[in-house]
Amino acid sequence: MCGRFTITVDLEDLRVYLEENYDIHEMKQAFELPRFNVSPGQDVITIINDGAKNRVGLLKWGLVPSFAKDEKIGYQMINAKAETLHQKPSFLPSFTSKRCVILADSFYEWKRTDDTKQPMRILKKDEKLFPMAGLWSTFIKEDGTKLHTCTIITTEANELMKDIHERMPVILDEASVKTWLNPRVTNLFELSKLLRPYETNSMKTYAVSAIVNSSKNETQDCIKPLYEQKRP
């Protein structure tokens, strides 16, 4: 699964990344950066395509389907399994026409040991930003206001992740992103082919402090390698 992640760049780094990779030259919303422990229920930096161009903005993490009876369901829908998107009524409409990417530069997962769970940080070897495949939806509240939400798609773990967890977020490459965001692409079989584990040799991982266990902790200490923190 994917229950926590980071986006540790500053606004200028994000601006350059968006221009170079998504041809986005304007950020209409204010983004709080850097983020060292992004958690479910919080707003996340997301990119969608409106049919004419890519747009960047904030969506609440935890998908609330348009037909939901209670928006609290979002906390149960922070992830969506790639293998069953076409089977789930909560995800199928978004899989067909409301696809997005959520930006991150690492994610956390907890490795089981004999007596505890060790939090691990997983990132690309180049430590750069990457797009996680996602779905988004709009829910109309009783007062008529709109709630825009999203979920992160997961797939089976690659060789690096298998020792930590059986699932990992889908990280898209440059070519896959263009197809994934294109609303004119509606072939679910072809889209499903994009939802595969990321290349093992391009990723790395290291242990971090248990302070990431609490979403209240949002300092840079969250990403410090554990062995460095234990040095005298």
Percent of the chain with pLDDT over 90: 92
Is residue 228 predicted with pLDDT exceeding 80?
Answer: no
Q: How far apart, in whole angstroms, are the C-alpha atoms of residue 131 and residue 114?
A: 33
CATH number of the structural domain spanning residue 75: 3.90.1680.10
Average pLDDT, the chain: 95
Is residue 98 predicted with pLDDT exceeding 90?
Answer: yes
* DSSP letter string, 122-173: EEETT---EEEEEEEEEEE-TTS-EEEEEEEEEEE--TTTTTT-SEEE-B--
Q: Is residue 193 one of the residues assigned to a domain?
A: yes
Q: Is residue 103 one of the residues assigned to a domain?
A: yes
Q: Is residue 225 one of the residues assigned to a domain?
A: no
Percent of the chain with pLDDT over 70: 98
Query: Which amino acid type is present at position 148?
Result: H
Q: Is residue 210 one of the residues assigned to a domain?
A: no
- Domain interval for residue 36: 4-107+128-201
**Quick one: 104 exposed, middle or buried, by C-beta within 10 A (0-12, 13-18, 19+)?**
buried
pLDDT at 232: 43
Summarize pLDDT for 156-166 with one digit per residue, the tens.
Answer: 999 999 999 99
Q: Is residue 232 one of the residues assigned to a domain?
A: no
Phi, psi of 57 (to 5 degrees): -170, -170
Work out the average pLDDT over 175-185: 96
Q: Which residues are catalytic?
A: 2, 109
Q: Is residue 116 one of the residues assigned to a domain?
A: no
Q: Is residue 92 one of the residues assigned to a domain?
A: yes
The span from the first CA to the last CA of the chain, in angstroms, equals 35
pLDDT at 1: 79
Summarize pLDDT for 182-226 with one digit per residue, the tens.
Answer: 999 999 999 999 999 999 999 999 999 999 999 999 999 999 999
Is residue 229 predicted with pLDDT exceeding 60?
Answer: no
Q: How far apart, in whole angstroms, are the C-alpha atoms of residue 17 and residue 13?
A: 6
**Between residues 228 and 92, which one has the greater pLDDT?**
92
| 111 sits in which H/E element | strand 106-112
> In total, how many domains does the chain have?
1
Summarize pLDDT for 23-58 with one digit per residue, the tens.
Answer: 999 998 889 999 999 999 999 999 999 999 999 999
pLDDT at 231: 45
131, two tokens: 């797009």
Q: Is residue 134 one of the residues assigned to a domain?
A: yes
Summarize pLDDT for 102-116 with one digit per residue, the tens.
Answer: 999 999 999 988 788
pTM: 0.96
